[in-house]
Amino acid sequence: MLLTFNATSLILVIFLIKEEKTINYLNQRLINLPDLVSYLFYFTIPVFLTYISILISKFLGNANVTKGSIVEVENANNAFLPSYLGYFFVALSVNNSETLVFVFLILFVFTFLSQTLYFNPLFLIFGYHFYNISTKNKARLFIISKNEINKVDDVEFPKLKRINNFTFIDKSN
């Protein structure tokens, strides 16, 4: 659930910025802070939660992909960006907080129930890359890794952590 929240939470951040909801607006007793401080604070929450997700991923189940079992590697960093930008446009077009909560819950539920891929662009901040990998067994896996993959022949993932049956995070670094 945390990964799903992290992947969709920037919708909330964009909405708060669009609506100019600052910390000063939410709590009148605070010193009058510049709006930028509020917006940076809002952004750091999903970044921090993503960092927590990376830390606790070490407790997930183990898996591996051995050298020679991979037939194709496709960089997926840019493949999900258009759909993620769609989330931003939704956040910008929502008129009120009640609608935002309803839309966010729908996106959250669909993202959680699909559980096929956990693309979160905030992983890019921590140096991770996203790859679609096809194996000789015709399995198609989504790998989140800090390694840059250039050649299929040399690729192996000895220390994967299983997020679900299709998605893994590489802990070899």
- 95 and 111 part of one domain: yes
What is the model's pLDDT at position 40?
A: 94
Q: Chunked in runs of 10, what are the mean pLDDT values of the chain (173 residues)? A: 84 89 68 84 94 92 87 82 79 88 88 74 90 88 89 84 89 83
pLDDT at 116: 61
pTM value? Answer: 0.84
Range of the domain at 47: 1-59+81-116
Q: What pLDDT score was predicted for residue 117?
A: 61
In the prediction, which pLDDT does 114 show?
77
52 and 65 fall within a common domain: no
Instruction: Report how far residue 23's alpha carbon sits from residue 18's, in angstroms, rounded to the nearest whole number.
Output: 14
Same domain, yes or no: 3 and 55: yes
Q: For residue 170, which of 150, 143, 149, 151 has the smallest C-alpha distance?
A: 143
Total Cβ atoms within 10 A of residue 168: 28
pLDDT value of residue 1: 79
Q: What was the pLDDT predicted at 25?
A: 62
pLDDT of the residue at 23:
78
Same-domain status, 88 and 134? no
71 and 127 within one domain: yes
Q: Are residues 158 and 143 in the same domain?
A: yes
Domain match, 68 and 104 both: no
What total number of domains does the chain contain?
2
**One domain for residues 52 and 68:** no
